[in-house]
Amino acid sequence: MSTATTPAPPAGTRPMVEVRAVHKSFGALEVLRGIDLQVRTGEVAVVLGPSGSGKSTLLRTINHLEKVDSGRISVDGALVGYRRSGDKLYELREREILKQRTHIGFVFQNFNLFPHLTVLDNITEAPLAALRRPRKDVLATARALLDRVGLADKADAYPRQLSGGQQQRVAIARALALEPKLLLFDEPTSALDPELVGEVLAVIKDLARQGTTMIVVTHEIGFAREVADTVVFMDGGRIVEQGPPGQVLDHPRHERTKSFLSKVL
């Protein structure tokens, strides 16, 4: 059973992400023990929780980087990784899964930029390869995105010539180049020096203001308070509680949430 409260989506807005009864084990270790979560279109959900609570795994199941053991996930009404026909679920081919992922942007903790490609090539690679858009449009979009993350002058630099904060901003631009319906952030600032965290969070805040649907796994409580529509607190593979930041962060109802917040605040 889950003690989490799932707020009903307001009338007229269908959920962008729907996670239902998801379980996932790595060997004998059950990392996700029945996750139910809804994220509405235009909503920013921030997932908090101690290390090993399953936050990152949950995020990675949403774009099928991890396969779930049971349960279902859908993004914008489409099942992730499967096709339903009657009462059977057919696993999608890799090609179809890759196509689904072009609608879901993913930003990694360690950036994972392609070190042998320039910043511009990092951003244009996926739209050219996966969407087969014309090169001219892709280049124009890429330059506009670089401008948006404040790195217009770094187009021809290689990732290793950039600071961590700059690399992560390029990674965000790279994810945005596919014009995804949903953006997933896996601890985007955890690998950064403290003074570089702000510039990355500023870019994410900017995206939030423009109504991008996002799920952000982070340890930045201040960021959660400022940007989140919903704060989700996870522990031991379960969602312990969720709700507006004012409720979860300032008046947590569960002991586990209280003790976690008292340690990180």
Partner 1 sequence: MPLTSDPPLDRTAPRRTGPPADDDPAALKVVPVRHPWRWAAIVVTAVLLAQFAHGLLTNPAWEWGVFAQFFTAETVVRAVWVTLQLTVYGTVLGFALGIVLAFMRLSASPFLRAVAFGYIWAFRSIPLIVQLLFWFNLAYLYKRLDFGIPFGPGFFSFDTMGLVGAMSAAVLGLALHQAAYAAEIVRGGVLAVDGGQLEAAAALGIPRPRQLRRIVLPQAMRAILPNAANEVISLFKGTSIVSVMAIGELFYQVQVIYGRNGRVVPLLMVATAWYVLLTTVLSVLQHYVERHFAKGATR
Interacting residues with partner 1 (CB under 8 A): 63, 65, 94-95, 98-102, 104, 106, 108, 110, 112-118, 125-126, 129-130, 158-160, 174-175, 178
DSSP 189: T
Q: Which two tokens stand for residue 47?
A: 């997932």
Q: Which residues contact 254 (CB under 8 A, 6 or more apart)?
A: 3, 233, 240, 241
Q: Find the helix packing angle between 135-148 and 119-129, rounded to 10°.
A: 130
Q: How far is CA 255 from the centre of its chain?
A: 27
Nearest approach, Cβ of 91 to partner 1 (angstroms)?
A: 14
* Nearest CB to partner 1, comparing residues 117 and 221: 117
Nearest approach, Cβ of 8 to partner 1 (angstroms)?
A: 31
Nearest approach, Cβ of 110 to partner 1 (angstroms)?
A: 6
Tell me how far CA of residue 98 lies from CA of 63, 88, 126, 223, in angstroms. Answer: 9, 21, 11, 31
* Nearest CB to partner 1, comparing residues 160 and 263: 160
Q: Name residue 102's beta-bridge partners.
A: none
* Nearest CB to partner 1, comparing residues 108 and 260: 108
Nearest approach, Cβ of 171 to partner 1 (angstroms)?
A: 8
Write the burial class of residue 118 (CB in 10 Å: 0-12 exposed, 13-18 middle, 19+ buried): middle
* Nearest CB to partner 1, comparing residues 93 and 253: 93
* Nearest CB to partner 1, comparing residues 104 and 208: 104
Whether 238 contacts 2, CB under 8 Å: yes
Coil, helix or strand at residue 159: helix
* Nearest CB to partner 1, comparing residues 69 and 125: 125
DSSP 252: -
Nearest approach, Cβ of 20 to partner 1 (angstroms)?
A: 23
The Cα–Cα gap between 105 and 107 comes to 7
Nearest approach, Cβ of 128 to partner 1 (angstroms)?
A: 9
